[in-house]
Amino acid sequence: MDSDSPSSEHGFSLISSNAKRTRKRKVEGKDNVRKTRKKKHKTDSDEKTKKVGDDPAKLDFEEAKDTESNSEHDNEEVTDEFASIKEELSNLSFEELKKLKEKLGLKVFNQVLYGDKDRTGSEKKVFKRANKNRPMEISSKKPVQRFRKAAPVKKKVTRDPRFDDLSGDYREELFSRSYGFLDDIKHREREKVEKSVKKEKNPEKKKELQFLLNRMKQQELTDNRKEQQKRIERDWKKKEQTRVKEGKNPFYLKKAERRKLELAEKYKELQKSGKVDAYLGKKRKKTAQKEKKKLPVQVL
Amino acid sequence: EGERKAEVVTSSDEEETAQEKKLRLAKEYLANLEQEEAEKREEDDIHRDIISHRLKQDLLEQSGKVQKLVADGYEQPSLDDIIVLRGHQLSVTCVVISPDKRHVFSGSKDCSIIKWDAVEGKRLHTIPGGRKGTEDTHTGHTDHVFCLAMSSDGKFLASGGKNKFVLLWNPDTCQLIHRFNGHRGAISGLAFRIGSHQLFSASHDRSIKIWNVDELAYIETLFGHSDAITGIDSLFRDRAITSGGRDASIRIWKVVEESQLVFNGDPGSIDCIAFINESNFISGTDNNSISIWSLMKKKPLVTVKNAHHGQDQNGNSSTQTNWITCVAALHNTDLVASGSRDGCIKLWKISKNYTVLQPLYSIPMVGFVNSLAFSPDGQVLVAGIGQEHKLGRWWRIKEAKNGIRIIKLKRKDV
């Protein structure tokens, strides 16, 4: 009995030392997983922590199986491995043996113990199907990854129409034509703000609203002026087209000419509203002030 | 016939290769056949033709080529043919019928398993469920029972549920034989391989474990599904088929080759699966569709959408699609059954070349049809009915009575 005990202890301690080794690895946790991923290509039997169930003896067995499966090893080495495992097993008690059987599974246990003739030689089974309509065939022994695609999630592609090539280049007339409806909306909103300004009692808010109203009004005015300028341009171009049809050279609308036309239009508008005199009066005053500056300064 | 290759047998080997095993089994089988035929004929010389005919038949059956066209021979089951057996307190989740048709076992959400007499319609024995927390002391389940399976010789009954272990019972005495630990999730399906004592168990931990019930040992684990397994079935061959729920895949596991065949279905949860014969199977999804598949194609042969389009008790068509809760098939024939919560069990007929699935009859059945089982000769259909779905309490049909229904399928008089 005494002669047996040190060897049995040795056999047991072999396994238990493996256990300690793997327990350490277990504790490291996340780093562990990363390590195994990096060392995927190593055929070394060290990195077996990715297997399900961190049982030390199981790892031992799996190592043996995989060392066998590396076709580089000779058959003799394989039998040596088996012999060593069998020796270890013979030193285990019956209860431990039973537990081992339960943990590993009968198939694996029998394969290693009695040697499996099917496995020697055929390693990575390549499953090829007869035609593409047949179902796919894959190995049933590989545990599924923890993180796997559950449901396909579509990635939202964001497009900024300002910088996207798909939107094309900016064309002002097209833009104004397609978004012309906004002007009507702005007009309506301005009227609303006007009404609310009248109603508003709170002086601060009234001030704010007044500012807003002014802003809106000014924006409208600038838009109108821009439109007017474009109209002038368009009319001139139309006129020039008739000249081109006749065969003559078209003239370019100079800035001065443009200003004149604008002025003419303004005069027409003023006549409609009847404010010609007021306008002319203001204009005269302004020019008078400017003229005054040119006069010599009297020093007393 | 005789497709087995003869391998050179080395004298010193104790273990046999798979081929040697096949050879030995084939020889034994032939010997058995000869004996049977000899007994039948009571003559000295046995005609080879008879043996070959028998072999052909069996081979056809096993390879799935034979399809007995029996569906047309049945008539509409009337209400008199339905026996209601009540005894469970909560919804019945699973039923099995013994091979001799005399007993029916049912498992339920109240953690109990009841043995019924199918012939007389009485409750014979109850294996009660225990309270939560008494797993160590109580013999039986202390949480919902999800699945039952019985071996084809009637010697073993296996049960599994939320408790994560598989219990093995003796069906005659209802005594516990063994408890198989190992799964890390609820056991959602159990299946015995016909003609053997090999048990497949499928679980919510996405793995399948194979157990040898003779030696009470765990053999191996199979991986592949990426979602909890919802159903498992097995026939004569050393294969099992499983449906994988939300991963929309059905897998056939070849145990010997350690490989799996993957079939991809429509995106939706495949909730139930059943073998029709060795090369065809039927599946039901939670999109109210039933599909017939072949081993040779990765896509289904036939799909019937909106299979259970029934209405509620109050006559309102449900706003949510009816899930197909279970499917069952009469082996090697063209008759299949499906159940949902729309108030009926539907019987379908498969056309000769598996191109059409025709609705045959509709058996009115209020409640969730959580489980269906055909008797091997096709004379009886057993259904496990509950007020709730077997896996949860999304709906509750108050008008339903928890229990099993034994439906006699009568043949038309020709």
Chain B: residue nearest A103 by CA? Answer: B218
CB atoms B295 and A135 under 8 Å: yes
Average pLDDT over residues B340-369: 92
Out of A116, A118, A135, the one facing B261 most closely (by C-beta) is A135
Distance from the Cα of A130 to chain B's closest Cα (Å) equals 10
Distance from the Cα of A140 to chain B's closest Cα (Å) equals 5
Confidence of residue B55 (pLDDT cuts 50, 70, 90): confident
Distance CA A194, CA B389 (A): 64
Chain B: residue nearest A105 by CA? Answer: B219
- B231-233 sheet: strands from edge to edge: A136-139, B259-264, B249-254, B239-243, B231-233
Chain A partners of B212 at a C-beta cutoff of 8 Å? 106
Out of B223, B254, B257, the one facing A143 most closely (by C-beta) is B223
Distance from the Cα of A65 to chain B's closest Cα (Å) equals 15
Does the predicted interface ipTM exceed a cut of 0.90? no
The whole-number pLDDT of residue B99 equals 93
Top residue of B249, B258, B264, B291 to mutate, by most chain A CBs within 10 Å, is B258
- With 60 as the cut, is the pLDDT of residue B14 above it? no
Return the DSSP state at A158: P
CB atoms B222 and A101 under 8 Å: no
Query: Does B258 lie at the interface with A, CB-CB under 8 angstroms?
Result: yes
Residue A67 burial class via C-beta count within 10 angstroms: exposed 0-12, middle 13-18, buried 19 and up: middle
The whole-number pLDDT of residue A28 equals 41
CB atoms B297 and A133 under 8 Å: yes
Chain A partners of B203 at a C-beta cutoff of 8 Å? none
Task: Please identify among residues 151-190 of chain A the ones whose CB lies closer than 8 Å to any CB of chain B.
Answer: 151
Query: Does A136 lie at the interface with B, CB-CB under 8 angstroms?
Result: yes
Task: Please identify among residues 42-101 of chain B the ones whose CB lies closer than 8 Å to any CB of chain A.
Answer: none
Task: Please identify among residues 46-75 of chain A the ones whose CB lies closer than 8 Å to any CB of chain B.
Answer: 52
Distance from the Cα of B254 to chain A's closest Cα (Å) equals 8
Query: Does B249 lie at the interface with A, CB-CB under 8 angstroms?
Result: no
**Which of B42-51, B68-77, B78-87, B106-115 has the least mean pLDDT?**
B42-51
CB atoms B223 and A110 under 8 Å: no
CB atoms A142 and B223 under 8 Å: yes
Out of B223, B227, B296, the one facing A141 most closely (by C-beta) is B223
Neighbours of B85 (CB within 10 A): 22
Out of B13, B14, B223, the one facing A140 most closely (by C-beta) is B223
Query: Does B296 lie at the interface with A, CB-CB under 8 angstroms?
Result: yes
pLDDT tens digits for B130-174? 998 888 899 999 999 999 999 999 999 999 999 999 999 999 999
pLDDT tens digits for B239-261? 999 999 988 999 999 999 999 99
Top residue of A140, A142, A144, A153 to mutate, by most chain B CBs within 10 Å, is A140
- Tokens (6 digits) for A159: 């497009």
Distance from the Cα of B258 to chain A's closest Cα (Å) equals 5
Residue B188 CB partners (closer than 8 Å, separation 6+): B146, B147, B160, B202, B203, B204, B228, B229, B230, B231, B232
The whole-number pLDDT of residue A149 equals 67
CB atoms A114 and B14 under 8 Å: yes
Chain B partners of A79 at a C-beta cutoff of 8 Å? none
Query: Does A128 lie at the interface with B, CB-CB under 8 angstroms?
Result: no
Query: Does B297 lie at the interface with A, CB-CB under 8 angstroms?
Result: yes
The whole-number pLDDT of residue B268 equals 87
Out of B220, B227, B253, the one facing A105 most closely (by C-beta) is B220
Top residue of B210, B261, B299 to mutate, by most chain A CBs within 10 Å, is B261
**What rounded mean pLDDT belongs to chain B?**
89
Top residue of B7, B11, B15 to mutate, by most chain A CBs within 10 Å, is B15
Query: Does A113 lie at the interface with B, CB-CB under 8 angstroms?
Result: no
Question: Could you give the percent of chain B with pLDDT greater than 70?
Answer: 91
Out of B221, B227, B257, the one facing A105 most closely (by C-beta) is B221
CB atoms A141 and B258 under 8 Å: yes
Q: What is the pTM of this model?
A: 0.65
Average pLDDT over residues B337-352: 93
| pLDDT tens, chain A, 300 aa long | 444 444 444 434 444 444 444 444 444 444 444 444 444 444 444 434 334 444 444 445 554 454 444 444 456 666 777 778 788 878 888 888 888 888 888 888 888 777 766 555 456 778 888 899 999 999 998 888 776 666 667 889 899 988 888 888 888 889 999 999 999 999 999 999 999 999 999 999 999 999 999 999 999 999 999 999 999 999 999 999 999 999 888 899 999 999 999 999 999 989 998 888 999 999 999 999 999 988 888 887
The whole-number pLDDT of residue B314 equals 61
Query: How many residue pairs from chains A and B have C-beta atoms closer than 8 A?
Result: 87
pLDDT tens digits for B81-133? 999 999 999 999 999 999 999 999 999 999 999 999 999 999 999 999 999 88
Distance from the Cα of A71 to chain B's closest Cα (Å) equals 20
Query: Does B215 lie at the interface with A, CB-CB under 8 angstroms?
Result: yes
Out of A107, A135, A143, the one facing B298 most closely (by C-beta) is A135
Top residue of B21, B199, B226 to mutate, by most chain A CBs within 10 Å, is B226
